[in-house]
Structure 1
C-alpha cells in the first residue's frame, strides 16, 4: 500500500491537485512572429496603452474596462514621468502567468 492510499480521501485529493501539471497548450505564433498580426503590432508599437488596457481587462476578468485600464496606464505614466510603467506592467505579467500557467 503506497502513501497516497493510506491518506484519507480529502488529503489524497488535495495531494493530487498540488502535484497536477497545468495543461500544455502550444503557442499560436513563434517568438519573432509579432508582425503576423500587423494591426496589433502597429497598435502596440504606437499606442501601448490600448494593448495594455485589453490585456488588463482579460487578466482582471472584466472588473475594469479596457478603456479605464488604458487611461490608468497613461495617468500613471504621466505622473511618474513614465519610469514606473515597466514595474506596473510587471504586476500584470506576473498575474497573467499565474492565471494561465505560463
Structure 2
C-alpha cells in the first residue's frame, strides 16, 4: 500500500493564537455611503438640498426699547404681562393654549411681586430673618422664571433666525422682562403680517347646469329616419 498522502490541514493546538486580533464589534460597524448622506434641518428634520446654506442671523424688526411703537402690546405688557406672555407662547406653539402659560406667569411673576410688596410694607411686623429669607426665595424664583421665558425667546430666535439682541435671551428676560415681552410680540406680529397674502384671488364658480326633462314626444321625422336606418338591413344566406 502506497504512502499516505500528506494532509493539507493543520491541527490547531492551544499554542496557536489567532492570526489577526479582531476587536469585538469591529465587524458590525455601519457603512457610510456618501450618496445616501442627506442634510436635514435641525428643527423639523426635513431633508435639505446640497446647495442649501443656513441663513445668517437677522436683526430684530424693532429695538428692545421700542415699546411705544405698538400701543396695544405696550399697555397689555404693562398692566397684564401674563396675558401678553400667554399670547406669545400660543403664537409659537399653536397646540398650547395661552391660558396655561398665562396662569404660570401670573403665579410666579405677579404673585412674587405682590409678595415682595407685602413684605416690604410689613417690614416692621415681620422678623428680619423671615423677610430676608422671603426675598432670597423671590430672587431665586425670578431668575428661574427668567430662564424659562428666555427659552421661549430663544425658540422665537431659532424660528426666524434672529440674533441675540442685546444679549443672551435669559439675561434679557431677567433684566428687561417687560420690554422683552413687548419686543417679542411686535416681532411675531410683524412677521405674521408679512407672511399674509397681500392679494387674494377670486375664483368664480361655474354656472349651474340644469337638465330640463322633455315633456313632448319625439320628433316623428327623427324617429322614422332612425327606424329606417335599422330596418333597411338585408339578410343574405351563406
CA distance in 1, matches of 2:54, 2:154: 20
2:86 and 2:99 in contact (8 A); partners too: yes
Q: What residue ranges of structure 2 are gaps of 5+ in the alignment?
A: 1-33, 40-47, 113-136, 163-238
Map of 2:95 onto structure 1: 63
CA distance in 2, matches of 1:26, 1:93: 12
Q: Which has a greater percent of helix?
A: 1
Normalised to the residue count of structure 1, the TM-score between the two structures is 0.66
- Identify which of 50, 62, 68 aligns with 1:15: 50
1:49-88 paired onto structure 2 within 5 Å: 49-60=82-93, 62-77=94-109, 78=111, 81=138, 82-83=141-142, 84-88=144-148
- Identify which of 150, 165, 168 aligns with 1:90: 150
> How many residues are aligned here?
92
CA distance in 1, matches of 2:60, 2:158: 17
Larger Rg: 2
CA distance in 1, matches of 2:96, 2:38: 37
Q: What residue ranges of structure 1 are gaps of 5+ in the alignment?
A: 1-6
Structure of higher RCO (CA pairs closer than 8 Å, 6+ residues apart) = 2
CA distance in 1, matches of 2:72, 2:36: 52
CA distance in 1, matches of 2:71, 2:100: 24
Deviations 1:12-65 (A, max 9, x none): 854323x1426x6882xx4243212222111112221111101111111x2111
Map of 1:3 onto structure 2: none
1:97/1:64 CA distance change after superposition, 3 Å: same
1:25/1:10 CA distance change after superposition, 3 Å: farther
CA distance in 1, matches of 2:98, 2:51: 37
Task: State the 4+ residue runs in structure 1 displaced beyond 4 angstroms.
Answer: 7-13
Structure 1 window deviating more from structure 2 (75-84 vs 87-96): it is 75-84
2:55 and 2:161 in contact (8 A); partners too: no
